[in-house]
Amino acid sequence: MSAPDAVRWRRSAVPLLVGGLLGFIGGYFAAGGGRPTPVVPSTAVPAEGGDRIASLSQALERDRDNPALWTALGNAYYDRENWEKAIEAYENARRRLAKDPNLLSDLGAAYRNAGQLRRAIVCFEKARENGPDHWQSLLNLTLVHAYDLGEADKAQRYFDELKRRYPEVPQLDRLQEKISGLRAAA
């Protein structure tokens, strides 16, 4: 990808990602809270006509080493809340694209939804390691520690970094309230 193409891609992808996050957080808080779903931001492939899973599976029969197809299949299963199949597809993509922070974050979100929290944390931490500016994995780490594990100190550490580096993320005050509530209950 040439430098101008990369800039155009970033200009088109960043607003889409921020919009997706705004919608996620706004919907969560509008619904009154609960366990928020992880952010799965960047590798979503829009649905096309016909059965998406069947068409992706057929494409993979011809091109087993294509990480984009594996990721799209993972996204299709994720959208259907089939966490195990999503994990399987994302793991296949990861074997071919091991350091992609977006893929690692998607895989972590699937592990989180499957109740495999420690594996989710490992994926989110690897995503941050491979993409230090990957705010989605930082947000997901905050959510896992606050909502799933009730670990106020770890959640606060991730939250503080999130707020310092990405103050534009909406509803941070509500997330802080959750963490403060955990501390008060301890």
* Distance (Å, whole) CA 168 – CA 92: 34
Burial class of residue 161, CB neighbours in 10 A (0-12, 13-18, 19+): middle
* Distance (Å, whole) CA 94 – CA 145: 24
Residue scoring higher pLDDT (123 or 8): 123
In this prediction, residue 50 carries a pLDDT of 42
Instruction: Give Cβ neighbours of residue 103 (< 8 Å, ≥ 6 apart).
Output: 43, 67, 71, 90, 93, 94, 97
* Banded model confidence at residue 4, pLDDT cuts 50, 70, 90: low
Phi, psi (deg, nearest 5) at residue 62: -90, -25
* Distance (Å, whole) CA 171 – CA 47: 29
Q: Assess contact for 180 and 150: CB atoms under 8 A.
A: no
Burial class of residue 6, CB neighbours in 10 A (0-12, 13-18, 19+): exposed
In this prediction, residue 186 carries a pLDDT of 85
pTM score: 0.74
In the numeric block, which tokens belong to residue 151?
A: 């670990």
Average pLDDT over residues 164-183: 95
Mean pLDDT of all residues belonging to the chain: 83
Q: What is the pLDDT of residues 75-107, one digit of tens each?
A: 999 999 999 999 999 999 999 999 999 999 999
In this prediction, residue 2 carries a pLDDT of 55
Average pLDDT over residues 111-120: 98
In this prediction, residue 35 carries a pLDDT of 53
Q: Assess contact for 108 and 140: CB atoms under 8 A.
A: yes
In this prediction, residue 38 carries a pLDDT of 56
Direct distance between the N- and C-terminal alpha carbons of the chain, in angstroms, rounded to an integer = 50
